[in-house]
Structure 1
Amino acid sequence: MAIRYWPMAGAAVGFRLVLVLFGGDLHLASRPEVSTPLTSLRRLAEGYWLKQASVSPYSGSMYHGSPLLLSVLGPLTSSRPDGHHAHIYCSLIFVAVDFLAAMLIRATGHELEMARNRSLKSLDLTKAVKDTVNVSAGDVASLIYLWNPWAIVTCVGSCTSPIENLMVVIMIYGSCSRLAPLAAFGYVMATHLSLYPAILIVPVILLLGYGLDAPPPKVFVIKGSIARKSDVSDNDKTSRQRVVQQFSWKPVLHFIFWLFIWSCHVLLLSSVILKKVGGLHEMFEKTYGFILTVKDLSPNIGVLWYFFAEVFDFFRNFFLMVFNMNIIFMVLPLAIRLKHRPCFLAFVYTAIVAILKSYPSVSFFNHFV
């Protein structure tokens, strides 16, 4: 797999480039399965045009994304009136973003694989480690992401979903590597762009405090009781007892510190960008408020648009609360059950959010890698 990985990864990137350069007639940007009111590049171009005209980009009901994306991608969308060059330039950036996300997925898989081998050795399962198939889980996951048809569609479909996916991957990789500044940056940016990744604070804290996925503590307790009954030296018993990691607050406090720093940076940059064309209050109302209140009822692959198109206005606020709280109600029970598997817990949270979010798209299939 190590020999075949780079040719397959290069082929996936080349396939994206071919679709970007020669697939202009696919019209994926107009598909509701690919582009949503939050991720549409056409809406971003409209918001940038309003900003250039000294009007708030959140005027009307077109743009509901981050002001940071206006500064990064906005200039690329004004290359030609028909938007053809804008599609190419932005899609090339999305290709690079997808490749970077795949590399971080690969690195995260390697970290998890090493943690698994350490856990097996600590349980005296060295034979299981030796008999493990010589295939890297990180390489496989990375290639699945690169060749995932939904990831390819969102990459060339003129939407900003690849950037959101990258921020989630950065957060998970930083947490697995116990790089608090990187994990905090990914968390702040992912929450700023999409709001829903805010619930991932639970697996991030577990990863930073306990470390990577490991067998449940009761497995080590049972192993220790067996060791006490057998003729095992005191040194072996002590080494096995040390395997059960205690929660460490130091990396968590480091993460909270950098969370505050990055949040201040994002708010400061957003206020500077919107200084003469609105403010932070309008940004929160038109981004987070737009996500929570489900004001855009254009068809998508979710169920909320249809439900709120049919429900009476008298019950609308009640069902808005029910749908939004439905995600939060699952956080604590899953955290209690899967606290020894924080990476898998992050996957479950992301899958739930991808299914129950107010404006889903095919990009949520990327989270099932």
Structure 2
Amino acid sequence: MAIRYYSPMVAAAVGFRFVLVLFGGDLHLASRPEVSTPLTSLRRLAEGYWLKQASMSPYSGTLRAPLLAPVADFSLDVCILTLQNLGASMLIFIAGLAPLAAFGYVMATHLSLYPAILIVPVILLLGYGPDAPPTKLLHLKSSSASKSDMSEYDKRTTLKVQRFSWTTVLHFIFWLFIWSCYVLLLSSIILKKVGGLNEMFEKTYGFILTVKDLSPNIGVLWYFFAEVFDFFRSFFLIVFNMNIIFMVLPLAIRLKHRPCFLAFVYTAIVAMLKSYPSAGDSALYLGLLGLFANELAEMQFTFFLFFGYIGVSLLSPVMHNLWIWRGTGNANFYFATSLAYTCIQTVLVVESVSSMIKHDRKLRLLVTS
């Protein structure tokens, strides 16, 4: 991806948004499995809201979104607005504003359990600052420049970039504790007479981890757990849920000098392996690609990835229609597009990480030469 293509892409994205606004009602997006999942369905959110208004547990229906608890006494519009603007959890982190970053992290984790792994890049970002070359590269740059006419001020500035700031991190942790207590306290007050926090955790986070709803979506877990024997279900639940956690530490060690890119990789992995993915998850990490236009300029398979995403976007509703409405297909038709979608995301993650590592290696060679 080159910077010269950024403006046309922004214009295309804005134009596509206007098309959805004008013709979204005719597309019935609220019922599309690519957009609406058990965790993001506005219909389920509305159902839980009206159950709460009737002095009943909002989780006695099909609601799964935990966000309803803190804002149920305001209006449904507040819930929708919060859901639509959540993607702004990453811009605040980059700005380094600890209180707002903590609030965004708490709300993102409250909506879905998976953003909890972003605590690693957030701490690295607040401690080290934005993405920068590796520490060894900065030391090499300083040592090589010391042989020339580099001033002492420039040397101190170069080496100061990689010093970890515990003050900002502790400030973030403090506000993280404050916002967490506030959300849990407000949730417990609102849900005191209709189930409490235990039911909220069981029907939301427990629902995410156990994959009880096997409604078709663009992920692969719904099909896998529909076919697997019940005897092996618990084992594979542990495997799939731990698969994301196993990738956190190795990637953090290798990409600790690039916390923004590390957050992008984590977001892409979550969108690929979460139990109930949607197109919005992909839109988030694809939107972050513009931050690394220079570093990923030499990424391979961009043609394949671009048309792969377009192909899956076009084939997914077609296969779903053939299976559900026309009856001329079966679940394998729709699952094939989901499997292709997962493969495309895997290629994107692998190639982007490889390109970033190659970019850092080239920087090191340029400095040493």
Q: TM-score, normalised by structure 1?
A: 0.69
Q: Superposition RMSD on alpha carbons, in Å? A: 2.8
Determine whether 1:279 maps to 2:193: no
For 1:200, what is the secondary structure of its paired residue?
helix
CA 1:72–1:312: 2 relative to 1, 3 Å? farther
Q: Are 2:63 and 1:63 aligned?
A: yes
Q: Give the Cα separation in 1 of the matches to 2:261 and 2:111.
A: 23
- Is the aligned partner of 1:297 residue 2:214? yes
Partner of 2:250, secondary structure, is helix
Are the aligned partners of 2:103 and 2:179 in contact in 1 as well (CA < 8 Å)? yes
Q: CA deviation at 1:232?
A: 3.4
Match of 1:203 among 117, 121, 127: 121
Alpha-carbon contact 1:185-1:259 (below 8 Å) kept: yes
Cα offset, 1:21, TM superposition = 5.7
CA contact (8 A) 1:209 1:248 kept: yes
- Segments of 5+ residues of structure 2 without an aligned counterpart are 288-369
Task: Give the count of matched residue pairs.
Answer: 280
Corresponding position of 2:90: 172
Counterparts of 1:233 and 1:23 in 2: how far apart (Å)?
59
Question: 1:221 is matched with which residue: 114, 139, 145?
Answer: 139
In the alignment, which residue of structure 1 is the partner of 2:318? none
Which position in structure 2 is the counterpart of 1:235? 152
Could you tell me which residue of structure 2 aligns to residue 79 of structure 1?
none
Q: Is the 2:139–2:159 Cα contact (8 Å) retained in structure 1? A: no
In the TM superposition, what whole-angstrom CA distance separates every residue of 1:197-216 from its partner, at most 9, and x where no partner exists? 00000000001111111111
Provide closer, same or farther for how the CA distance between residues 233 and 322 of structure 1 changes in structure 2, counting only shifts above 3 A: closer
Q: Distance in 1 between matches of 2:189 and 2:228?
A: 40
| Structure 1 position 312, deviation (Å) | 1.1
After TM superposition, the structure 1 = structure 2 runs for residues 178-189 of structure 1, keeping only pairs within 5 Å, are: 178-189=96-107
- Alignment partner, residue 42 of structure 1: 43
Amino acid in the other structure paired with 1:59? S
Task: Quote the sequence identity (%).
Answer: 72
Separation (CA, whole Å) in 2 of partners of 1:286 and 1:29: 22
Contact 1:227 1:237 in 2 (8 A): no
**Does the C-alpha gap of structure 1 residues 46 and 333 become closer, same or farther in structure 2, counting only changes over 3 Å?**
same
- How far the C-alpha of 1:218 sits from its partner, in A, is 1.4
Residue 192 of structure 1 corresponds to 110
How does 1:1-369 map onto structure 2 within 5 Å? 16=17, 19-20=20-21, 23-60=24-61, 62-66=62-66, 67-68=69-70, 70-74=72-76, 76=77, 94=81, 160=83, 162-164=84-86, 166=87, 169=88, 171-228=89-146, 230-232=147-149, 235=152, 238-239=155-156, 242-366=159-283, 367-369=285-287
Q: Distance in 1 between matches of 2:20 and 2:236?
A: 41
Judged with a 3 Å threshold, the aligned counterparts in structure 2 of structure 1 residues 179 and 331 are, in CA distance, closer, same or farther, namely same
Deviation sequence 1:16-37 (CA, Å, 0-9, x none): 4674466422211111111000
Answer yes or no: is the 8 Å Cα contact 2:131–2:257 preserved in 1: yes
Deviations 1:52-72 (A, max 9, x none): 222111114x10112235445
1:338 and 1:246 mapped to 2: Cα distance?
16
Contact kept in structure 1, 2:138 and 2:159, CA below 8 Å: no
Distance in 1 of aligned mates of 2:274 and 2:99:
27
Residues 244/16 of structure 1: CA separation in 2 closer, same or farther (3 Å cut) = closer
Letter paired with 2:59: Y
Question: In 2 relative to 1, CA 344–23 (structure 1 residues): closer, same or farther, beyond 3 Å?
Answer: closer
Q: Which amino acid aligns with 1:217?
A: T
Is the contact made by 2:126 and 2:169 (CA closer than 8 Å) also made in structure 1?
yes
| Paired amino acid for 2:46 | A
Could you tell me which runs of 5 or more consecutive residues in structure 1 were left unpaired when the two chains were aligned.
Answer: 77-88, 98-159
- Which amino acid in 1 is paired with 2:53? Q
Q: Distance in 1 between matches of 2:85 and 2:148?
A: 56
Alpha-carbon separation, structure 1, partners of 2:24 and 2:150: 67
